[in-house]
A = this chain, B = another copy of it.
Amino acid sequence: MLIHSAPQLLTIPGGPQRGRDLGELGIIENGALLIREEKIIEVGSTPELREKYPDEPTLDASGSVVMPGFIDPHTHLLWGGDRAREFEMRLEGAHYLDILKAGGGIISTVRDTRTASLESLLAQTRPRLMRMFATGTTTAEAKTGYGLQTATELRMLKALLALDNEGPIELAITFLGAHAIAPEYKDNPQGYTEHIVNEMLPIVHDWWDTHAPRRQRMPFVDVFCETGAFDLAQSRQILEKAAALGFPLKIHADEFDNLGGASLAAELGAASADHLVVTSDEDIAALANSETVAVSLPCTPFGLAHCDYTPAQKMLDAGVILAIATDCNPGTAWTESMQFPIALACRAMKLTPAQAIVAATINAAYAIRREDRVGSIEVGKQADLLLLSVADYRQLGYRFGTNLVKKVIKRGRVYSVDVGYYQTA
């Protein structure tokens, strides 16, 4: 199929973009590309490709920016229940302790996830995946971490494998048994750390070997390195064991307190360090000298009505590889659309639309180490593409709160998204 007449075709060529190189869109005006089966075969100008492939079936992209599908490199996609009542209580002035007493906070999601069957978890999560896809996400990272006990964590892994298999979104799966201290170890974080290291990680390793289809790579292992969760030594203990078992690594760091998690990630060669709000200059330097992607999650401070965001300009100055993600989760940031962190990144972190788009595509792909297959429009890559309802990429970021995606192409298959349109029932 020949997709042609795109006023702007964003190729985003050449792999991840580091530091101040961020923002190279590789725009072809009046662009076209040839896709066959799942792959991108050729990219060029419309006159050129139309002449070369006169008999190819066509898809007219007039009036539409054509760009790579969004990669969402940090989500907590899978959970049971919701925390809408807790959200309301906070606005009614309830204190944190009242909310805990009423059964709120992350532990309420853990409870609702532990008691949910596999089928129920799948049913609750599918609408979220549908919204992600309809807003342009074609590949997403997705974590466990609302089990905090082996059986539920494995059920979450099973659910994520099932959802990846259903498609159309491909999932990069992460084991986050170290999301919080399990309630059973409430006063003994070191005990839970040992439990993860000595029991959960080896079990997950063997389970994955048996249950994951061959095309799924090893899951990432991730740790919430934060006051009240895992301290730096515990985070190191977990990640070093994971690395020894062959897992690739991720870390949640510097959301509220600076514990040195970002430097740890760089030292251990983690694929990414995520959140990064109160990151120190030393940590930024460590990231800049590594292949660890800094994944900023601007929806989280937004969701919490905080004023501090990732110091993106400092990071770009230092030479960090910057990506953005939704952090979709039931506590602080329930949004499925990558278009919203793009709009936030422009305002709260002063990225240009072009920079935010790269941070949401090829750099995001690198944060889940899939930059070889997705995140750009280059020959040989998977045909994961978006047609926008606008003709200028800068409308992303500039506009907010609605969906500018019109068609999503996943592995060469075209889906229409009827957003902003309606019909008589």
Contact = CB atoms under 8 A, between A and B. Distances in A.
Interface of A: 82-85, 87-88, 91-92, 127, 130-131, 133-135, 299, 302-305, 307, 334-337, 339-340, 346-348, 350-354, 389, 392, 394-395, 397-403, 407-408, 413-425
Contacts of A339: 401
Nearest to A93: B350
B420 A415 contact: no
A20 to B, nearest CB: 12
A91 B346 contact: yes
Contacts of A392: 82, 84
Contact of A422 (B92, B302, B402, B417): B417
A340 B303 CA distance: 12
Contacts of A394: 84-85, 87-88
A288 B347 CA distance: 34
The 7 closest A-B pairs by CB, nearest first: A340-B401, A335-B401, A418-B418, A84-B394, A305-B347, A414-B425, A131-B420
Contacts of A407: 425
Contacts of A337: 401-402
A88 B413 CA distance: 33
Contact of A87 (B299, B304, B398, B424): B398
A416 B423 contact: yes
B134 A352 contact: no
Given A299-B401, A347-B303, A400-B335, A420 B340 contact: no
Contact of A134 (B350, B353, B422): B422
Nearest to A338: B401
A339 B414 CA distance: 29
A400 B84 contact: no
Given A304-B347, A337-B401, 11 more contacts: A83-B398, A87-B397, A91-B346, A127-B389, A305-B348, A340-B400, A402-B403, A403-B403, A403-B419, A413-B424, A416-B424
A417 B304 CA distance: 30
Contacts of A346: 87, 91
